[in-house]
Amino acid sequence: MVVRRDSAVGEQDPGGGKKTAKVTKAAPEEASPKRPAKKAAGRTDAPKKAAAAKTGSKKAAPTKTAVKKAVGAKKASRTKRTAAPQVVSKKTTVAVKAAAPTKTIAAKPPGNESRAALVRRARRINRELAEVYPYAHPELDFENPFQLIVATVLSAQTTDLRVNQTTPALFARYPTPEDLAAAAPEEVEEILRPTGFFRAKTKSVMGLSKALVEHFGGEVPDNVEDLVKLPGVGRKTAFVVLGNAFGHPGITVDTHFQRLVRRWQWTDETDPDKIEAAVGALFPRSEWTMLSHHVVFHGRRICHARKPACGACPIAPLCPAYGEGETDPEKAKKLLKYEKGGFPGQRLKPPQAYLDAGGKPAPPLGAG
């Protein structure tokens, strides 16, 4: 047994330590005492350390550092696991809040229609309507922003025609915000009586006139933030004024617009603000104002609420709701209104392009 140990030790010195590891592991199995094994291990460690120092090996020395790093990594991973849910939950909450409007305003295309196909169809409908109504315009008579904002407020719960027949007398007597703000309420009520809800409308137009005088120097502001602060002015009225008096693009979501964009399945929303956002996402901003005119013109003349004239509709092949109304061409023609049906339009003083296209001006108030 001693001879074998001596020979093993004799082979350790020139071997560089690799053979030593094998021999020292095998030695304890043959020898029952444990102390010689420890000595052998101690003897074999010396060449390893010397060789490592000479060759620059980093396999043995960094063992403790590696252990410390591993422990630190485990602690860090535990910290991340405990801290991560809080960070992720916050980010997730923010992401959901930011993405929610997109989900709520996104249109549901008919059948298997993709988002890209919906955009193409919607824009094609607008192009077709632009050819049918090249003279589309706001159907309220006005000469300046003040007249337009007052007329738009008065158009609630009544027709543009009735408003156009009423405002000439109003503006002749009260041409400026200062004049209307200082008017006697009962006199204004009498003028506005034909528009319906004349007491509430008198309060609104006089209130917005006072606000214009007190806060804006008698001038109508040209931004939506200030416009909606005026009494009786909402986003619809604000965009009518911005688009037609100042040339700022805007979508006017009135009852006709709401009905048609849902009928065409551009969106399934019912809230006007969400409809505005959903439809606005389908078109370039520069087209918003004229898009509103095209849709409203079509809703008033052909695509009516109760009996749409499907048989006389120029965009029937693009409409998912085709067949809800009269499909017979001859019967459908009898449902057409305004200039499409040969009748007067809504403005007393319409644009020249409308007259050139065969449109007829509306009669003044009291005319037979």
Q: Which residues carry out catalysis?
A: 236, 254
Alpha carbons 132 and 294: distance in angstroms, whole number = 9
**Among candidate residues 125, 355, 146, the one with its CA nearest the CA of residue 245:** 146
- The CA distances from residue 320 to 13, 133, 294, 330, 364, in Å, are 93, 21, 18, 22, 39
Instruction: Report yes or no: 283 and 276 within 8 Å, Cβ to Cβ.
Output: no
Instruction: Report yes or no: 51 and 17 within 8 Å, Cβ to Cβ.
Output: yes
- The CA distances from residue 215 to 210, 222, 296, in Å, are 8, 13, 33
DSSP of 94-125, one letter per residue? HHHHHHHHHHHH----STT--HHHHHHHHHHH
Q: How far is CA 254 from the centre of its chain?
A: 19
Q: At 320, which amino acid appears?
A: P
Q: Kindly state the tokens that stand for 74.
A: 């485990």
Neighbours of 287 (CB within 10 A): 18
Alpha carbons 292 and 249: distance in angstroms, whole number = 10
Neighbours of 90 (CB within 10 A): 10
- The CA distances from residue 4 to 18, 22, 36, 38, 301, in Å, are 18, 14, 13, 17, 113
